[in-house]
Amino acid sequence: MNSDPQSEDSRDGNSFELKAILVVDDDQQLASALQWILADENYLVDVAYDGEEAILKVKAHDYDAIICDLKMPHLRGDAFYLQAKELRPNMADRFIFITGYATDPAIRHFLIEQEVKFLVKPFPIPGLISCLKELLG
């Protein structure tokens, strides 16, 4: 008898892998709330409060998805995205941007030019969850 529970689960087709999500937002209350909400949805969630901190985390970890604010101090979300894409090209299609400034011409240009997923704040949590599930396939 095999004592490895993981291989037994794999045979039964019941195994699942937790997806790692990075939440990047300078609004610490929102970032913390998203961390709890996503953890309740069985995601492993890491948080960064600005783009500089997020770059350090991307250097150290390969995330399945990144939920990122655009307007942040130190390193904005658009600049973080471009640096993260350079560091890990496979992450380019793993971003969901969240912003309260979707009508700002520079932000609008970035979102359209990069063809990235985005939600406008305030967004409904079920909308974020479904967008995340769609992104993760």
- Contact call for residues 38 and 23 (beta carbons, < 8 A): yes
Residue pLDDT, tens place only, 22-72: 999 999 999 999 999 999 999 999 999 999 999 999 999 999 999 999 999
pTM given for the model: 0.87
Query: 88: buried, middle or exposed (CB in 10 Å: 19+, 13-18, 0-12)?
Result: middle
Band (88; pLDDT cuts 50, 70, 90)? very high
The structural domains of the chain, ordered by start, are 18-136 (3.40.50.2300)
